[in-house]
Structure 1
């Protein structure tokens, strides 16, 4: 079994206990945030270019960029258009001039037309993806340009790209007394977030222990993205509540984070002496067998 197949097999199931918290936005009493603490306190982190196995078999280097990204609205299109104008053939491997040349029409549901970023060819990947050996650097050209300009990548990338793998759903909801409020739900963008086709992805990071190796919980590492999704005052309150829950200990931690922690605890310590090898008299290591360092 190769590494990608083993990683797919190690993914945790999609249904497990989750902890949620609900609170009112301090800056807007008509805005309520419902947050998945199991996800936000997980140790998920993006492992693109390292432990990422990609969503299509044999194309790990593409990560989740194997398809074009659908735009959410005109603001999303205009932001990417402005960012793409900063790119050159030296910074964008598959350089195309003109919005209509690096985007194309498609359909999310098979019926309603929707515009997305174009792909390099019929089978993808996204036109903005530079190869790993490209002189200006591999990965998303828009992401790299944002870093060169000293801004957060969410300022240049399509909404769906910088939001992943956080899923935000918003609905106007009516209380029993007839008053309405906007409910923003923050949770994990798991395989089902892609629709029926999500189950066919060769690998998906949110369920994989390979991606739950972050040095800090998600609510901290994704502070900029979460702030953009719910606003600064609401994020500050979310962070305060997450910190309190983290200190108290989760009742329902993410199983992929637990699996990653167990793997780390049982992994051999490379700095520890190797007690398994026999010793020669005098306490010296025996010569290494042929082919072994």
Structure 2
């Protein structure tokens, strides 16, 4: 595995691969890697000749400075995991390599996707995501890029950004990777206290019950039921729960036969924020 910290050397290396007609699969990460990331790398390896992984904790997508400071950084362990995985190239730049001296976000119009769910609670978050992903795509110029569906809203926003900016990359959404007890894998999970880690799987268990109820209960009935479930759970604080159509991500009040729906949730376990979602059928 080759490791690059500056974009010029990385580009030179990738240009050589491209001149040999090699396809490039790209997995952008913020490090603190887990099996969910490794599953994306495996998918990229199956469909591409060369796999590039980036590790970059992007400052512009954090609306909370403390969250940025506390974001887990485990670069030595990450390198070990990547060396044992199907990763050919690691790009691990410093902040100034990506942003020069101007650490600000570009302003994007995602056709309203950015105002739903996460956008209501994390001001400027998706402008930061769009900025760094667009920058990384321009540096790596991958054929395909792989993202987990845990951040389903982010996935849809990146697809929209690629389309509106006419970027020549195919975006591949991959299934949520879970712990054995159902908790969606996240780099932030290692910051959970013992008691919060024990109760955290309640989030996914509740979503699975929502999926069962969706076939025969109204959306308003499900919303009330879920709020009551979390009122009984003192260690978890519900930030939001919404059932939305997958395309526009707009909150649904009634079920329409031609739309695909998904339930989205954000919960605080102490100071650690957990998000999850599940596909619904009706």
Normalising by structure 2, we get a TM-score of: 0.25
RCO (CA 8 Å, sep 6+): is it higher in 1 or 2?
1
Q: Which has the higher helix share?
A: 2
